[in-house]
Each structure stands twice: as C-alpha cells, then as structure tokens.
Amino acid sequence: MTNPTEAVAAQSPVQTDVIIVGAGPVGLFAVFELGLGDMKCHLVDILDRPGGQCAELYPEKPIYDIPAVPVCTGTELTERLMEQIKPFHPTFHFGQMAEKLQKTAEGKWQLTTDRGTVLEAPVVVVAAGGGSFMPKKPPIKGIDDYEGTSVFYAVRKMEAFRGKNLVIAGGGDSALDWALNLQPLAKRITLIHRRDEFRAAPDSVSKMRALVAEGKMDLKIANLTSVSGADGQLASVTLVEEGKEPYQLPCDSMLAFYGLTMKLGPVATFGIGLHENLIPVDTSTFETNVPTIFAIGDINTYPGKMKLILSGFHEAALMAKKAFAIVHPDRRYRFQYTTSSSDLQHKLGVDAA
Amino acid sequence: MHVYCTDLDGKTHELQATDEWTVMEIIREGGIPILAQCGGSCACATCHVYVDPSWKSKLPEPSEEEVGMLDGAFEVTQDSRLACQITFNKDLDGLKISLAPGSV
Ligand SMILES: Cc1cc2nc3c(=O)[nH]c(=O)nc-3n(C[C@H](O)[C@H](O)[C@H](O)COP(=O)(O)OP(=O)(O)OC[C@H]3O[C@@H](n4cnc5c(N)ncnc54)[C@H](O)[C@@H]3O)c2cc1C
Ligand code: FES
C-alpha cells in the first residue's frame, strides 16, 4: 500500500471487467451476479474491511428480513456474502477513496483512488450506499482552519505526534488505543471525554486509568466547545465541565474520534445525474443516465425505491445482465438456474467433476 | 397533539405528533431537516436533541445503549437525548425539544 503522506504516484492501470465503488452488502453481492456472467471485479472502499453499513454501523445487531435467513447480524451477513463470492476471487482495494472517474481513449472507464490505484474497465457499478464513511467532525467554528495541520481525525504517522502537547477527544476504542499508543511519544496527552465511562476494550480502559493514576497522562471529563490558535496552529481548546466555568487547555495538536458518518463524497463529481444526492436509474437495468455506469443499493433512486438490502440484491441481478452485454458483446446472455446449470456450478466450484 | 421543536437558528416549530411515532420521525415528518442517518436504529447519534428541562421527568430514562451512543454526539449535556429513542404518547403532548449541533 502507498504511504499517503508521500506524493501519490500514478500506477499503471489494472485492467478488469467491472469496477465496483463500495464494498457494502450490495457491492459484495454484485460480485456474485457478475461472476456468474464471467465478469471479474475490483472493489474500492474507504473502509478497511467489507460490509459497509452492516460492518460499520451495526455489526452486532440482528437483521431479520434477509429472505430465507431468519436472523443474522451485520457481521454474519458480511461473512456469508464473502463466503458466497469467494469462487469469483474479487480484488479489494480497502482504505481507499474512489476519487476520479474518466473515459479513456479506448472508451473504457478509468477510476483513480486517493492512494494512486488506477483501475480500468468497460463497466462501473456505483454501490456507494449512504456515501463514503468519513470521520465525524465536531461542529466547532473555525476548526477547518486547523484540519490537517494540527487537528486530525486519524493517525497516519505516529511520529507526527512526537513531543506534542496532544489532546485526544472521544471515549471509544480509537480514542483509547491512540492515547495508549501515543503516550510514550507525545510530550503530554490529555484525553477528553464527556463522561467518566468508556465504550472501549476493558483492558485499554484500565491501562489508561493506570497511566492517569501514575500522573503520566491527563483525563478531563468535559465537553470541548471551541478551538483557538493562529495560521493553522492550535494553541488551546476550551473545555466545559458540567456545572463549571469554561476554561482553556493549552495544546498544540488534537485528535478527535467521534465515530464515522456517511457523506456522498467524490461520487458527486463522477458526472452522473444526481437527484437529492441519490442516483436516478432505469429500473430494467439499473443503468444511470451515463451508459455503462450502473448504480445499485442505497445510493440509487427510482419510483418506489426502498433502502433495503434485499432490494439491492435484486438490483444487482438485473444490472449484471446488462453488464454482460457490455463486457461480452460477442456472447449471447443465457438465463440459467444455479440449481440445474452445470456451467454455473462449474463457476461456483461445486460441480461433481 | 404537538411537539415543539426549536431549530439551530432558534426558530420554534409546532409539529403534528402521532402516537407511537418516535420524536425523530415526528421531526422529520414535520419537514425539519434532521440527519438521523441510521434511520432510528440508535446507531449514529445524528438525531441528538435537548429536551426542555421541564419535560425531562416525564420521559423514561434513556437505555444504556442510548447513553453509549451519545458519546458520538457533540456538546452533550444532561438534557441530551437521541430523538429516535423517545416514543411519543399522549402524555407527551406539548413536549419541547431543540436540535443539537451535528444533527442537521
Ligand atoms: C442500524 C441499521 C440497521 C439496518 N437494518 C436493516 C435491516 O434489518 N434490513 C435491511 O434490509 N436493511 C437494513 N439497514 C439498511 C442496510 O444496511 C442498507 O440498505 C445497506 O447497507 C445498503 O447497502 P449498500 O451496499 O448499498 O451500501 P452501504 O452499506 O452504505 O455501503 C456502501 C459502501 O461504499 C463505500 N463508499 C461510498 N463512496 C465511496 C467512495 N467514493 N470511495 C470508496 N468507498 C466508497 C462506503 O464507505 C461504504 O462502505 C440498516 C441500516 C442501519 C444503519
Ligand atoms: S437516528 Fe441514528 S441514533 Fe437516532
């Protein structure tokens, strides 16, 4: 993987049949339907693992409306889909934002990620769901002025925090893990959380509390209400403890971990027609207003649309039929059942031979 | 039956309230933009509201899950609740809430 802090060098394009933007449940099932039609897929997702909303927002919660699966959790659904698409050997590009989509001279689509991965294919499937997952930014006035210089939402390089007077905001695993990992490097770490309870691995919580007790880091139970400094350099943050006067805490860097939120992101710049941040499609093929670009799952809209996983699965099947005609123009599409087709069973690796 | 919702500009809206609906749904149906990104599953904290102190005692206590989810909200106070976790009923007619930062 390319180091994001280095200049992104454009790599030579990887050729494939279909580029899928988004590895949520619908993007994953698309691999299956496309695979039955001999189409090889590359998937790009900003998350570091498959599953989209199921993996990020409700891994442990039960889903009851997947046909023939009375109950499974978000994680289980993702694992089962990964199992189901295994025979088709999809390639995943995780932790990367699909950023730019262009037409090549040969009429293919070229997709470039923020890490410099370049993919080329005749078909693009946008399965971007509710948008790409991005860190939640505190709604603090002027915080943008410091982003990337002294306010961060992720750790790219630990060394960047050496000798810093660092404030870490949040009460989950990310906040706790980074507080523990950066404590030996930073000059001083202050963990700020709104309550004296943490939703993180108990072991990390007790390690953190031990460091606080030994005087090796600070813990403030407070709300962070403003930031101040100059020229992108943070000088202090304002903290409010319940029932007390606000006060300033001097610091030179801040890491904020309030979880992730979904934002449409670069898909808006792909040149596909949008309606209220959703992509209108033709419901017989799930093609967008740009031929050979499809949109399936939560990201699309059409009369009667319901944002359900099962709708996305159906959309994937119809999309794959049209994609077949584009990827294999010289072949005739053949409708077959997985139950009875030895050809499909061979592709799935379950044939008797 | 009504819910009074004050938006981030300080404007108060009188919203038609329906029995058994969540306050998040009542706000959304009333045409007030509220993110409520997870659709009411207590999984996103983008339906964060402040309940008027005079109404707090009339609401059931938040679940542990709701309190935990509020960690992902901003400027949380003792009046903070997730609107998708408050179910409206006739005893709440006149409920006053205000939207919190990060929920629109
Ligand atoms: C708490 C909760 C409970 C739910 N319960 C149910 C239920 O019981 N039944 C049901 O049917 N549905 C349920 N849903 C809805 C269901 O999860 C969604 O319909 C489903 O996840 C949509 O799948 P998707 O693949 O279209 O999109 P998503 O799951 O949103 O995945 C899209 C992926 O695309 C990625 N992405 C987007 N843009 C880019 C980009 N430019 N570059 C890189 N990556 C990008 C995102 O990071 C994300 O991982 C629930 C949702 C929530 C939040
Ligand atoms: S709508 Fe997501 S927590 Fe209420």
Q: Does residue A122 share a domain with residue A40? A: yes
Q: Which domain holds residue B12?
A: 2-99
Q: What distance in Å separates the CA atoms of residue A341 and residue A334, rounded to the nearest whole number? A: 11
Interface confidence (ipTM) of the complex: 0.85
Ligand 1 center to A93 CA (angstroms): 17
The pLDDT, as a whole number, for residue A10 is 59
- Tell me whether A194 touches chain B (CB under 8 Å): yes
Contact criterion met (CB < 8 Å) for B75 and A225 = yes
Q: Which domain holds residue A225?
A: 137-258
HSE on the CB side for A241, CA within 13 Å?
10
The pLDDT, as a whole number, for residue B103 is 86
> Is A207 inside any structural domain?
yes
- In contact, B83 and B32? CB cutoff 8 Å: no
Distance from CA of A264 to the nearest CA of B (A): 12
> Is B35 inside any structural domain?
yes
Contact criterion met (CB < 8 Å) for A223 and B76 = yes
Q: What distance in Å separates the CA atoms of residue A96 and residue A71, rounded to the nearest whole number? A: 31
- In contact, A82 and A55? CB cutoff 8 Å: no
Strand order in A109-113's β-sheet? A14-15, A118-121, A109-113, A98-103
Q: Does residue A225 share a domain with residue A329? A: no
> Is A142 inside any structural domain?
yes
> Is A321 inside any structural domain?
yes
Contact criterion met (CB < 8 Å) for A223 and B37 = no
pLDDT under 50: residue ranges of chain B: none
Look at residues A206, A227, A258 and tell me which one is the last residue of a structural domain.
A258
> Is B13 inside any structural domain?
yes
> Which of A114, A108, A80 has the alpha carbon at shortest distance from A95?
A114
Residue A176 backbone dihedrals phi, psi, to 5 degrees? -70, -45
DSSP letter at B33 equals -
> Which of B45, B37, B100 has the alpha carbon at shortest distance from B73?
B45
> Is A7 inside any structural domain?
no
Q: What distance in Å separates the CA atoms of residue B104 and residue B83, rounded to the nearest whole number? A: 13
Ligand 1 center to B73 CA (angstroms): 21
Look at residues A258, A286, A304 and tell me which one is the last residue of a structural domain.
A258
Q: Does residue A297 share a domain with residue A209? A: no
CATH number (domain holding residue B41): 3.10.20.30
Chain B hits for A168, CB-CB cut-off 8 Å, are: none
Q: Which string of DSSP letters, residue by residue, matches A14-51?
A: EE-SEEEE--SHHHHHHHHHHHHTT--EEEEESSSSS-
> Is A232 inside any structural domain?
yes
Measured between CA atoms, the residue of chain A closest to residue B77 is A242
Q: What distance in Å separates the CA atoms of residue A315 and residue A301, rounded to the nearest whole number? A: 11
Q: What distance in Å separates the CA atoms of residue A163 and residue A175, rounded to the nearest whole number? A: 19
* Closest partner CB to B75 (pick from A199, A223, A307): A223
Q: Are strands A293-295 and A300-301 parallel, antiparallel or unpaired?
A: unpaired
> Is B89 inside any structural domain?
yes
Ligand 2 center to A319 CA (angstroms): 32
Contact criterion met (CB < 8 Å) for A199 and B76 = no
Chain B hits for A61, CB-CB cut-off 8 Å, are: 41, 43
Model pTM score: 0.89
Q: What distance in Å separates the CA atoms of residue A191 and residue A204, rounded to the nearest whole number? A: 13
HSE on the CB side for A276, CA within 13 Å?
3
* Closest partner CB to B68 (pick from A199, A261, A262): A199
The pLDDT, as a whole number, for residue A5 is 42
Q: Does residue A305 share a domain with residue A167? A: no
> Strand, helix or coil at A305?
coil
Cα dihedral: A178, A130, A96, A160 (round 10): -30
DSSP letter at A246 equals -
> Which of A16, A19, A39 has the alpha carbon at shortest distance from A347?
A39
CATH number (domain holding residue A273): 3.50.50.60
> Is B72 inside any structural domain?
yes
- Tell me whether B76 touches chain A (CB under 8 Å): yes
Q: Does residue A129 share a domain with residue A267? A: yes
What letter represents residue A291's amino acid? P
Q: Does residue A126 share a domain with residue A41? A: yes
Q: Does residue A254 share a domain with residue A144? A: yes
> Strand, helix or coil at A209?
helix
Ligand 1 center to A121 CA (angstroms): 24
Distance from CA of B21 to the nearest CA of A (A): 20
Give the pLDDT confidence of A54-75 residue by residue, as tens digits. Answer: 999 999 999 999 999 999 999 9
Query: Token match 């006149």: residue?
Result: B94
Look at residues A241, A258, A275 and tell me which one is the last residue of a structural domain.
A258
Q: What distance in Å separates the CA atoms of residue A63 and residue A30, rounded to the nearest whole number? A: 20
The most distant pair of C-alpha atoms in chain A lies apart, rounded to whole Å, by 76
> Is A6 inside any structural domain?
no
Q: Does residue A199 share a domain with residue A93? A: no
The pLDDT, as a whole number, for residue A9 is 53
What letter represents residue A139's amino acid? P
How many contacts does A have with B, using Cβ atoms within 8 A?
50
> Is B57 inside any structural domain?
yes
Give the pLDDT confidence of A93-141 residue by residue, as tens digits. Answer: 999 999 999 999 999 999 999 999 999 999 999 999 999 999 999 989 9
The pLDDT, as a whole number, for residue A245 is 93
Q: Give the total number of structural domains in chain A.
A: 2
- In contact, A31 and A20? CB cutoff 8 Å: yes
Contact criterion met (CB < 8 Å) for B46 and A259 = no
> Is A2 inside any structural domain?
no
> Is A178 inside any structural domain?
yes
Phi/psi zone of residue A31: left (φ > 0), alpha (ψ -120 to 50 degrees), beta?
Answer: alpha
Optimal mutation site among A54, A56, A57, A141, interface B, most CBs of chain B within 10 A? A57
> Is B104 inside any structural domain?
no
Q: Which atom of ligand 1 is nearest to the CA of B38?
A: 53
Q: Which atom of ligand 1 is nearest to the CA of A308?
A: 11
Q: Does residue A251 share a domain with residue A162? A: yes
Mutation to probe ligand 2, out of B21, B22, B24 (largest number of atoms < 8 A from CB): B24
Q: Give the total number of structural domains in chain B.
A: 1
pLDDT values of chain A reduced to their tens digit, one per residue, 353 residues: 444 444 455 568 999 999 999 999 999 999 999 999 999 999 999 999 999 999 999 999 999 999 999 999 999 999 999 999 999 999 999 999 999 999 999 999 999 999 999 999 999 999 999 999 999 999 899 999 999 999 999 998 999 999 999 999 999 999 999 999 999 999 999 999 999 999 999 999 999 999 999 999 999 999 999 999 999 999 999 999 988 899 999 999 999 999 999 999 999 999 999 998 999 999 999 999 999 999 999 999 999 999 999 999 999 999 999 999 999 999 999 899 999 999 999 999 998 75
Q: Are strands A247-250 and A233-240 parallel, antiparallel or unpaired?
A: antiparallel
- In contact, A17 and A69? CB cutoff 8 Å: no
Q: What distance in Å separates the CA atoms of residue A346 and residue B17, rounded to the nearest whole number? A: 57
Q: Does residue A46 share a domain with residue A194? A: no
Chain A hits for B76, CB-CB cut-off 8 Å, are: 194, 223
> Residue A195 burial by CB count (10 A; 0-12/13-18/19+): exposed, middle or buried?
middle
- Tell me whether B63 touches chain A (CB under 8 Å): no
Strand order in A233-240's β-sheet? A223-230, A233-240, A247-250
Q: Does residue A297 share a domain with residue A229? A: no
The pLDDT, as a whole number, for residue A3 is 45
Chain B hits for A57, CB-CB cut-off 8 Å, are: 38, 41, 43-44
